Amino acid sequence: MRALYLIIIGLLLAGCDHSERGSGVEEAHQIPKSSSEENEWGKVITSKAEFYAANDVSESQLRLTEQWHEIATKAWGNYGPLEFWIVGKDERAAAELDENYCAIRKQKDPTINLRHCLNRGHNFVSYAKGGNAGLNTRRNENETWSGFIITMSAKFPGPEEEDYKSVVLHEYFHVYQHAHIHSRNKFERESLSGKNPWWGEGGAEYMAQLLYSRQPGVRPGYLREVMGRKLNSLKNLRDGENIKDIPYGPRGRIAYDLGTWFIAFIISKTSEETYRVKFFKDLNSKGFEESFLKHFGSLSENILHEFHDVFLKLTIEDKMKIIPVSLTR
Ligand SMILES: [Zn+2]
């Protein structure tokens, strides 16, 4: 059951930052370059995230989501603009939330098409039915409003599950990653964030689990347990296959799991600050490969080879040596 559940999460999270699920745009228009929001992109901001919930969502789930968002911003900085939309199990309540959502979209960007917004493929009713969490990054050449929209739901994971907390952290780390890429051009953004999941998902997952493992009350062996389960994907990696070549989709899970290990691996060779702060600070101006080379001392291709040919061939015990047991209490 646990394995099945994890697979579902993996697949569902797979679309969490690369899909354009939003509302349609009627026609291209001028982007106001001098708006305050434009100047805030990529900076630590003071404006607070907005939280919206369907009317069947409990106050405690709303508080829980706010609480874990706050833990994330305290650790990594407050980036945005960010909206959280929390969906329950009631499809009618989700449909009402969709209407509120499209009204807010229209208010923030008057050029959007309301009908397209309401008819969008992955709306809140689909979250009420299928559960899951996701991030929609809105920053492109067609829409005036740039920002992040995180959707949380009632299942996979639900608020009563431990995973709900690390999933909030995971989605927020995507906000952190994307906030460090300024371009509105789809291809430029993709060249800096990566098209396949190994880098972005690996980073979001490792940073989320690492931060979660340090919270008061979390058992000391938590991170090693989680990382141990991710090693199950190793048996699905084909001979000579590189995680960077695995796309989102049916085998994306392998890249999620081993990508998480890859981030742990490069942090073990450098430091958490090198990955989380220094690499991202230079990413926008230097590009992915140059920032990677500067901070990790070698081209990503070389470190990926070392990861596959040396690190992944170690025993489980030796691999686990790079995973901290518990750092703060
Ligand atoms: Zn993700």
Among 179, 208, 223, identify where a domain stops: 179
Whether residues 162 and 235 share a domain: the answer is: no
Whether residues 146 and 202 share a domain: the answer is: no
Instruction: State the pairing for strand pair 50-53/82-86.
Output: parallel
Give the Cα separation of 109 and 105 in Å (integer): 6
Residue ranges of the chain with pLDDT lower than 50? 1-34, 329
Is residue 191 in some structural domain?
Answer: no
pTM for the predicted model, two decimal places: 0.89
Centre of ligand 1 to C-alpha 1, Å, is: 22
Q: Which string of b and e fits 226-242 if b means at least 16 CB within 10 Å?
A: bbeebeebeeebeeeeb
Count of domains forming the chain? 2
pLDDT at 40: 80
Among 145, 179, 213, identify where a domain stops: 179
Q: Which domain holds residue 211?
A: 197-320
Give the Cα separation of 32 and 116 in Å (integer): 23
Contact (Cβ atoms closer than 8 angstroms) between residue 164 and residue 64: yes
Closest listed residue to residue 165, CA positions, set 72, 52, 229: 72
Identify residue 50 by its one-letter amino acid code. Answer: E
Centre of ligand 1 to C-alpha 30, Å, is: 31
Centre of ligand 1 to C-alpha 113, Å, is: 28
Among 121, 144, 179, identify where a domain stops: 179
pLDDT at 24: 33
CATH number for position 228 = 1.10.390
Residues at Cβ < 5 Å from ligand 1 ion: 13, 16, 201, 204
Give the Cα separation of 227 and 216 in Å (integer): 19
pLDDT at 121: 86
Centre of ligand 1 to C-alpha 11, Å, is: 10
